[in-house]
Structure 1
Amino acid sequence: MSLANECRTDTPEPEARRVWQRPFLKWAGGKFTQLADLDALIPEGKRLIEPFVGGGSVFMNSNKHPRFLLADVNADLIHLYQMLAVVPDEVTRHARLMFGRLNNADGYAAVVDEFNAQLLAGPERAAAFLYLNRHCFNGLIRYNQSGKFNVGWNKSTKPYFPAAEIEAFTVLTHNCVFMNAGFRRTLSLAGEGDVVYCDPPYEPLPGTNGFTSYAPGGFRWDDQVALAECCMAAHQRGATVVISNSSAPRITELYTQHGFTLHHVRARRAISRKSSTRETANDIVAVLGGMNSGK
């Protein structure tokens, strides 16, 4: 087996005493708890590209990239980010009103109904998405087959309003381009000097039911294969690629076949209602290009 295909477990030691910036959104599969490991594996570059930006933990803690291209298929997420980049005070004002007046089951249901009926526009819709994220069960963003948000209320009457986290986010937005797009379109823009970090919906481990419905349509095995192929093409144009995923056997085989170097990192799952039943898993971070590829 070549060095490029070797499965490594000697992840570099995390940077000592660094304080990581928390994102302002709660996000299933968010990478805040893995930032030390990821930061050690994501190299410097002229631009960081994230086709699955999600809650934004990775880019918000990057000190290696002066510019960012941040994309997601979730149009509501990207709309919120774009509105915060342009009119942060207006979004925050609407959100504070919702947090202050609608912290109950009826209020939550009313926001869900208006949100799904497309009755809100611009900054107010962005604020509603923030409200739903902080008031729904575990911050789980899920849509039904009709594209309607359908997560229940978390029963918290005093949810945390992430003012400091929003401010930290808005400081970075002048260096960011936000794009509502799938990974194929986003990765087609990657080239020489870019660093790509992909955090797709994870392939379920054998015998488990994975959550892949962050947006209507889900994420199938064909998408996992297409992602690897698009990342290969980006690498051939000069980009370095880093991908997080589960340690499912066919994911390991897929990335190995495409010449990625595989690193194992520990991760604590956070979908279960009870913290005592949230499991620790062994995830994979696959790297193609740069100093971690064995080149």
Structure 2
Amino acid sequence: MTRCVTEDLGATGGQPLPAFGPVAPFKTQLLKWVGSKQKFAHEIIAHFPRDFGAYHEPFLGAGGVMAVLAPKRGFGSDIYPPLIEIWQTLSQHPEVLKDWYASRWHAFQAGDRVAVYEAIKARFNAAPNGADFLFLCRACYGGVVRFRRSNGHMSTPCGSHPAIPPKAFSKRVDLWHQRLRGAQFALLDYREAMARAEPGDVIYCDPPYSFSQSILYGAQTFHLPDLFDAIAAAKARGVRVALSIDGTKKSGGTYCDLPLPPGLFEREIMLNVGRSMLKRFQMGGQTMEAEEVRDRLLLSY
């Protein structure tokens, strides 16, 4: 069970806005994705303001928070073209998304699973595309979408788990298509995405973890001070920003203490998010009983 502890940063001494309140969990994943916030997204969303305009998520990844929120008006973005191709296809052509997955699944089941997976991965690395990336995310080890620094190629091996059949995946596509019917998706740098938010909107930022995710997909090249500048600019024009960032690991043994600009954030909530799948991958699949991860949810309001 995820636990929340609220801590007042004392930035301005102002009263916090009324909270969004309880949200029902939504656990059905579309993409397998290490680091996805979907399992505890309902707790993150509970700390959003009760009333806001549009919802913006500039580090979209697997879209777990947006799917739980199911915004009436939302904007999801990222800088990785194959990923945005998946989201745009889900939104505009869900039957095509189903066909992408089904054709690769049938080949995967009919042949040597590892050989077929490696062939799909090689094709993807030669010409990155959403169709191959969709299947690789579902079939790779633990959803750890990892890339080599040397050439940018995806390097994650095939997972030992069975890939879900097309019929089950199709049901997920229909469910996600319905939940995200109010969302639009674009290929954008996070600064461009945040700049389009208007007063009264909410931005949720889930950037790559500076201490652990430099080799994972989603590691957009940015410096944390630049992200803080973008948050400050959004706050100055009346946009509310929530930021997930490194917290404690190894049952609190290591605290990723990142310096925060004075006055930028009003509140801090600590979320216990369970054990690190990335660390388990790095340790050859061992159960990491002590590798607990905590996230800091920082609120500008």
TM bin (shorter chain): 0.7 to 0.9
Q: 1:48 to 1:129 in 2, by over 3 A?
A: same
1:277 and 2:282 matched = no
The corresponding residue for 1:152 is 157
Q: 1:240 to 1:13 in 2, by over 3 A?
A: closer
The corresponding residue for 2:82 is 76
The corresponding residue for 1:143 is 147
The CA distance in 2 between the partners of 1:215 and 1:61, in whole Å, is 22
Q: 1:239 to 1:110 in 2, by over 3 A?
A: same
> What percent identity do the matched residue pairs reach?
21
The Cα shift of 1:228 comes to 1.2
Query: 1:63-97: CA deviations, max 9, x gaps?
Result: 5x421110112211111111222221122123112
Q: 1:93 to 1:195 in 2, by over 3 A?
A: same
Q: 1:113 to 1:92 in 2, by over 3 A?
A: same
The corresponding residue for 2:244 is 244
The Cα shift of 1:249 comes to 4.6
The corresponding residue for 2:229 is 229
Letter in 2 for 1:287: L
The CA distance in 2 between the partners of 1:255 and 1:168, in whole Å, is 40
Q: Tell me, which stretches of 5 or more residues in structure 2 are unaligned?
A: 1-7, 14-18, 248-254
192, 199, 205: which one aligns with 1:192: 199
The CA distance in 2 between the partners of 1:112 and 1:187, in whole Å, is 33
1:212 and 2:210 matched = no
In the TM superposition, what are the counterparts of 1:38-53 in structure 2 within 5 Å? 38-43=44-49, 44-53=51-60
Q: 1:213 to 1:185 in 2, by over 3 A?
A: farther
Please give the secondary structure, in 1, of the residue aligned with 2:287.
helix
Please give the secondary structure, in 2, of the residue aligned with 1:246.
strand
In the TM superposition, what are the counterparts of 1:111-190 in structure 2 within 5 Å? 111-118=120-127, 125-145=129-149, 146-156=151-161, 158-161=162-165, 162-190=169-197
The Cα shift of 1:21 comes to 4.0
Q: CA RMSD in A?
A: 2.6
Say whether the 8 Å CA contact 1:73–1:215 is kept in structure 2. Answer: no
Q: Tell me, which stretches of 5 or more residues in structure 1 are unaligned?
A: 7-11, 205-209, 290-295
Say whether the 8 Å CA contact 1:51–1:182 is kept in structure 2. Answer: yes
Larger helix percent? 1
The Cα shift of 1:19 comes to 4.0
Query: 1:241-291: CA deviations, max 9, x gaps?
Result: 00001124542x3155533421111112222144731622222100002xx
Q: Normalization by structure 2: what TM-score?
A: 0.80
The Cα shift of 1:100 comes to 2.0
Letter in 2 for 1:212: S
The CA distance in 2 between the partners of 1:139 and 1:42, in whole Å, is 28
